[in-house]
Chains A and B, each alone.
Chain A
Amino acid sequence: MNRSLAVTMFLALLLALGLAPAARAANEADYKTAYSAAEAAAKEAASLRHQWTVTVSTLAAAKKAADGGDFDRAVAAAREAEALAKASIFQAISEKEAWKAMEIR
């Protein structure tokens, strides 16, 4: 795959996952919704033993921003953490078969 196609796909993926900037300022309820969705996805990734370190640190960043009252940032980080967790779940599931393609035979 060429590089610009990869980048375009990556941006499309981010948009699809709802990382586009929000139109209005986020409040605590928005944060709680976004955070619990992210936390659920992260739990699933951990149970598949495919957690990414960046998911954990982005979740922590969301919490920290919320604790400081910056809900715009907290919501953005929570959504990013959810997207990361979902990508890791996808990885876990696709690797159940895909690992065989790498095997030395």
Chain B
Amino acid sequence: MKAARTSILLGSLSAALVALALTSPRVVAADKVDPVADAKAFQNFFFQKFPTVKHEDFVNGPYSMNEDMKRQWQEKEEFPPYEFALDAGKEMFVTPFKNGKTYADCFPNGGIGIRQNYPYFDEKEGKVVTLELALNRCREANGEAPYSYVKDEMASLTAYMAFTSRGKPMDIKIPDDPRALAAFENGKRYFYTRRGQMNFSCASCHVQSPGERIRAEILAPALGILNAMPIYRSEWSGMGTTSRRFVTCNSQTRAVPLEPQADEYRDVEYFLSYVANGLPISGPGARP
């Protein structure tokens, strides 16, 4: 394990040096944005790399990669550690704001069973709207202060909403709007861009090394990586939102994280969710 980590570090050091030594960056012709082809290629890559993993199992993060872990997890699911957050989330969800309205008034279908449609591209704003963002906008529209994107309240609310969508296939739409395509492309760029002193992109860990260990953790595959959000982590001894996870992953590469719900984070969520279309929502998740 230690050796593997050392080699990851040395690998990243030499990768950084290669990047620094590079004088003539590879020239790539500008291609047209084709989300359908991208999603197909993305899914095929993982289906071929892990031929024994059932397609719908990719949404279980590290558990899809490791049988022992999966068994422990299934035992844990009998008394899931996110149960507390789920109850709190439901309570919050149905409790009226001071003005008498509830979250249900802000969402299609009263907010039940709709997690699989987030994030969506809002043609009025011209930007991607995530579930976390929509929840805070709902609060603000009703005169309530927004919640922190990285703390328990937001995790509980999204946990409850994910739970009401369990098993529903991810269903992200990209409208015929050049701004939506640009957001998808920007999310893709963010996903593959190397950053931080370790010179890692999201893909360095979640495409090139899923199933491998980094510290005590087994890396989740990028395919379906958001379907289980939010997640309970023993390391956090609590729930973490998607925002919190992105911030943590950036910090791990020694990159200064962006502010939660920055455009890049919204766009990378759009990209990762779209390429997971068809795979079931499994959140909230629990991790060791």
Q: Which residues of A contact B (CB under 8 A)?
A: 1, 3, 6, 9-10, 13, 46, 49-54, 56, 84, 87-88, 90-91, 94-95, 97-105
| Residues on A with beta carbons closer than 8 Å to the beta carbon of B1 | none
A48 CB → nearest B CB, Å: 10
| Residues on A with beta carbons closer than 8 Å to the beta carbon of B258 | 49
Interface contact A52-B197, CB-CB below 8 Å: yes
Q: Using an 8 Å CB-CB cutoff, how does the interface string of B14-57 with A read, 1 for contact, 0 for none? A: 10111111100111100000000010011001000000000000
Interface contact B193-A95, CB-CB below 8 Å: yes
Residue of B nearest to A2 (CB): B14
Q: Is B113 an interface residue (CB 8 A)?
A: no
Interface contact A91-B199, CB-CB below 8 Å: yes
Cα–Cα, bound, A105→B189 (Å): 13
| Residues on A with beta carbons closer than 8 Å to the beta carbon of B14 | 1, 3, 6
Interface-located stretch among B131-139, B158-166, B234-242, B249-257: B249-257
Interface contact B20-A102, CB-CB below 8 Å: no
The answer, among B28, B38, B45, for a CB contact under 8 Å with A97, is: B28
Residue of A nearest to B262 (CB): A49
Interface contact A53-B196, CB-CB below 8 Å: yes
The answer, among A3, A51, A99, for a CB contact under 8 Å with B194, is: A99
Residue of B nearest to A42 (CB): B256
The answer, among B20, B22, B26, B41, for a CB contact under 8 Å with A105, is: B41
Interface contact B188-A103, CB-CB below 8 Å: yes
| Residues on A with beta carbons closer than 8 Å to the beta carbon of B254 | 52-54
B277 CB → nearest A CB, Å: 15
Q: Which residues of B contact A (CB under 8 A)?
A: 10, 13-14, 16-22, 25-28, 38, 41-42, 45, 188-189, 192-197, 199, 201, 203-204, 207, 251, 254-256, 258, 264
Interface contact A98-B197, CB-CB below 8 Å: no
Interface contact B194-A97, CB-CB below 8 Å: no
Q: Are A104 and B25 also in contact (CB < 8 A) when A84-B197, A99-B201 are?
A: no
Cα–Cα, bound, A104→B117 (Å): 24
| Residues on A with beta carbons closer than 8 Å to the beta carbon of B41 | 104-105
A50 CB → nearest B CB, Å: 6
Cα–Cα, bound, A1→B199 (Å): 16
The answer, among A1, A84, A87, A102, for a CB contact under 8 Å with B201, is: A102
Cα–Cα, bound, A102→B251 (Å): 21
Interface contact A1-B18, CB-CB below 8 Å: yes
Cα–Cα, bound, A94→B196 (Å): 13
A102 CB → nearest B CB, Å: 4
B113 CB → nearest A CB, Å: 31
Interface contact B203-A94, CB-CB below 8 Å: no
| Residues on B with beta carbons closer than 8 Å to the beta carbon of A54 | 197, 254
B187 CB → nearest A CB, Å: 12
Interface contact A90-B192, CB-CB below 8 Å: no
Interface contact B20-A100, CB-CB below 8 Å: no
Cα–Cα, bound, A102→B41 (Å): 13
Cα–Cα, bound, A2→B208 (Å): 21
